[in-house]
């Protein structure tokens, strides 16, 4: 919508020189936006997740710089995957798990779900799985003794100690959550499946609490082709996965879409189903604040699968909100290390964005954006107003249009001057001709 408006404004400009200038202000289409940057950016972290990341990395960043941190993360993950690929496995559950991890791996260009880099989010997603934590811990105990005395290996040791503390925090968080659910007898009763055959249209971001499908449009002529989008199923009901998946359509081209994952925003849920190999699977209640994927369902192929979601009670909400931060010994959240920008420049595009690169941009209102969020056009963690991203995009569009209007006005002025000069020249020539005739 925004791209279309700006392009309409841009076509007014005919002059060659102006055309060249205006190309700098080209605004990315939504599909281009979705395809830029890392996979995770289609759903940015909320305030609590941002605090968690800063706490997790606090000690690490006191030992190594941000660039070095990225280098070490890539090195560790590459070494780990190289070792892991050589392990012989016979347990079908483990085989399924590692096959699924392969689909997330940045090297798997054919995957719908791969991360585009060995990012913090990639490592964090892996570490959130207990099989990964156990295997990684085992590998670290083999790998660490092979490190030597040099500076580079010392930095690797710092990174290993960061991974170990992440593993310990995640273990603590999991057991605290399990205890809370058991102590409070939190249960979810499945009720009759809501049969809802009306078309469900995709949206760019999860907004309301409840259950979502993560989808991709597969229509080759659609501008949203392969962009990750969401379909909101609702909250408080029992959903049948296969039924619901059949009635989802792309908001751009209205073609049926391909569902590749289920996710939840700030709610509690449970699921049960029958796999195609005749196994009945029931997962206990889980709860989340912010957005979480239900990766477990991808380890099976389903005959049927029911998912039920409910609102969090205020007690559950308080518990889950404070859970991760409360699991750190030192809970002081470090300040952001990165500099803020004073104002948004019209040339800000998504390519140069990214929290890893550390750009933060301040709006006139004083509201801070990380460049990630701008690239996705979504609100910051502190913002709950869904119209916020829209207002931001409108402001950016408006600035671009203002620039173009100035260009047009300037060119018009120059053209008028040229026309006036030509008219004057013509008048003089005609006068001279008339004099000669006389």
Binding to Zn ion, residues 70-129 (CB under 5 A) = none
Q: Minimal distance in Å, beta carbon 239 to Zn ion?
A: 23
Q: Minimal distance in Å, beta carbon 253 to Zn ion?
A: 3
**Angle (CA) 358 362 365, round 5°:** 160
Q: Closer to Zn ion at the Cβ: 222 or 323? A: 222
Q: Minimal distance in Å, beta carbon 213 to Zn ion?
A: 15
Q: Closer to Zn ion at the Cβ: 57 or 252? A: 252
Compute the distance between CA of residue 325 and CA of residue 191 in angstroms, rounded to an integer: 35
Residue 281 in contact with residue 297, Cβ under 8 Å? no
The helix/strand/coil state of 238 is strand
Instruction: Please name the helix (run of DSSP H) or strand (run of DSSP E) that holds residue 264, with its range, or none.
Output: strand 257-265
Q: Closer to Zn ion at the Cβ: 225 or 305? A: 225
Q: Minimal distance in Å, beta carbon 90 to Zn ion?
A: 42
* End-to-end C-alpha distance for the chain, whole angstroms: 65
Q: Closer to Zn ion at the Cβ: 104 or 253? A: 253
Residue 370 in contact with residue 355, Cβ under 8 Å? yes
Q: Closer to Zn ion at the Cβ: 219 or 321? A: 219
**Distance between alpha carbon 397 and the CA centroid of its chain, in Å?**
22
Q: Minimal distance in Å, beta carbon 221 to Zn ion?
A: 8
Backbone angles phi, psi at 293, to 5 degrees: -90, 155
**Angle (CA) 274 211 256, round 5°:** 80
Token representation of residue 417: 């001057």
Q: Minimal distance in Å, beta carbon 17 to Zn ion?
A: 37
Question: Count of alpha carbons within 13 Å of 23, Cβ hemisphere only?
Answer: 6
Count of C-beta atoms within a 10 Å radius of residue 234 = 16
Binding to Zn ion, residues 184-243 (CB under 5 A) = 217, 219, 222, 224
13, 50, 250, 378: residue in contact with Zn ion (rule CB under 5 A): 250
Task: Give yes or no for residue 265 binding Zn ion (CB under 5 A).
Answer: no
Place of tokens 């998912």: 307
Compute the distance between CA of residue 363 and CA of residue 51 in angstroms, rounded to an integer: 21
Could you tell me how many residues of this chain bind Zn ion (CB under 5 A)? Answer: 7
Q: Closer to Zn ion at the Cβ: 229 or 397? A: 229
Q: Closer to Zn ion at the Cβ: 55 or 217? A: 217
Task: Give yes or no for residue 252 binding Zn ion (CB under 5 A).
Answer: yes
Instruction: Please name the helix (run of DSSP H) or strand (run of DSSP E) that holds residue 308, with its range, or none.
Output: strand 302-310
Compute the distance between CA of residue 217 and CA of residue 313 in angstroms, rounded to an integer: 35
Q: Closer to Zn ion at the Cβ: 258 or 321? A: 258
Compute the distance between CA of residue 74 and CA of residue 76 in angstroms, rounded to an integer: 6
Segment near Zn ion (CB under 5 A); pick from 60-68, 252-260, 411-419, 426-434: 252-260
Q: Minimal distance in Å, beta carbon 278 to Zn ion?
A: 36
Q: Minimal distance in Å, beta carbon 225 to Zn ion?
A: 7
Residue 259 in contact with residue 284, Cβ under 8 Å? no
Compute the distance between CA of residue 264 and CA of residue 269 in angstroms, rounded to an integer: 8
Q: What is the DSSP letter of 259?
A: E
Task: Give yes or no for residue 253 binding Zn ion (CB under 5 A).
Answer: yes
Q: Minimal distance in Å, beta carbon 246 to Zn ion?
A: 16
Segment near Zn ion (CB under 5 A); pick from 78-86, 192-200, 253-261, 263-271: 253-261
Q: Closer to Zn ion at the Cβ: 26 or 223? A: 223
Segment near Zn ion (CB under 5 A); pick from 184-192, 251-259, 396-404, 408-416: 251-259
Q: Which residues bind Zn ion (CB under 5 A)?
A: 217, 219, 222, 224, 250, 252-253
């Amino acid at each position: 919508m925004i791209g279309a408006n700006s392009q309409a404004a841009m076509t007014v400009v005919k002059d060659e020189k102006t055309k060249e200038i205006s190309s700098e202000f080209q605004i990315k289409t939504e599909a281009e936006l979705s395809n830029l940057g890392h996979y995770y950016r289609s759903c940015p972290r909320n305030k609590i997740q941002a605090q968690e990341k800063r706490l997790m990395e606090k000690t690490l960043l006191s030992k190594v710089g941000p660039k070095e941190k990225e280098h070490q993360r890539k090195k560790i993950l590459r070494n780990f995957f190289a070792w892991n690929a050589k392990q012989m496995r016979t347990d079908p559950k483990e085989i399924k798990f590692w096959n699924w991890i392969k689909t997330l791996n940045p090297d798997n260009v054919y995957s719908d779900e791969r991360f585009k880099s060995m990012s913090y989010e990639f490592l964090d997603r892996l570490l959130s799985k207990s099989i990964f934590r156990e295997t990684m811990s085992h590998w670290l105990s083999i790998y660490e003794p092979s490190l030597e005395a040099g500076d580079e290996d010392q930095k690797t040791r710092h990174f290993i100690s960061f991974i170990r503390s992440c593993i310990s925090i995640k273990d603590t968080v999991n057991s605290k959550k399990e205890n809370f659910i058991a102590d409070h007898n939190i249960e979810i009763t499945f009720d009759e499946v809501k049969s809802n055959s009306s078309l469900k249209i995709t949206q760019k971001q999860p907004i309301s609490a409840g259950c979502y499908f993560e989808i991709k449009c597969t229509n080759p002529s659609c501008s949203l082709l392969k962009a990750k989008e969401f379909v909101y199923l609702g909250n408080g009901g029992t959903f049948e996965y296969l039924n619901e998946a059949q009635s989802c359509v792309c908001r751009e081209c209205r073609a049926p879409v391909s569902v590749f994952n289920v996710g939840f925003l700030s709610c509690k849920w449970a699921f049960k189903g029958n796999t195609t190999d005749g196994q009945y699977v029931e997962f206990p209640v889980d709860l989340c604040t912010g957005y979480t994927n239900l990766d477990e369902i991808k380890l099976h192929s389903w005959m049927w699968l029911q998912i039920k979601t409910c609102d969090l009670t205020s007690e559950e909400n308080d518990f889950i909100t404070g859970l991760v931060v409360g699991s750190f010994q030192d809970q002081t959240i470090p300040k952001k290390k990165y500099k803020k920008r004073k104002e948004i420049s019209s040339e800000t595009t998504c390519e140069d964005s990214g929290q890893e690169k550390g750009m933060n941009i301040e709006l006139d209102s004083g509201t801070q954006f990380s460049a990630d969020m701008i690239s996705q056009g979504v609100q910051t963690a502190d913002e709950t107003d869904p119209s916020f991203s829209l207002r931001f995009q409108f402001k950016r569009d408006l600035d671009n249009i203002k620039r173009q209007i100035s260009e047009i006005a300037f060119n018009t002025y120059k053209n008028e001057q040229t026309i006036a000069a030509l008219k004057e020249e013509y008048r003089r020539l005609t006068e001279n001709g008339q004099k000669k005739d006389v």
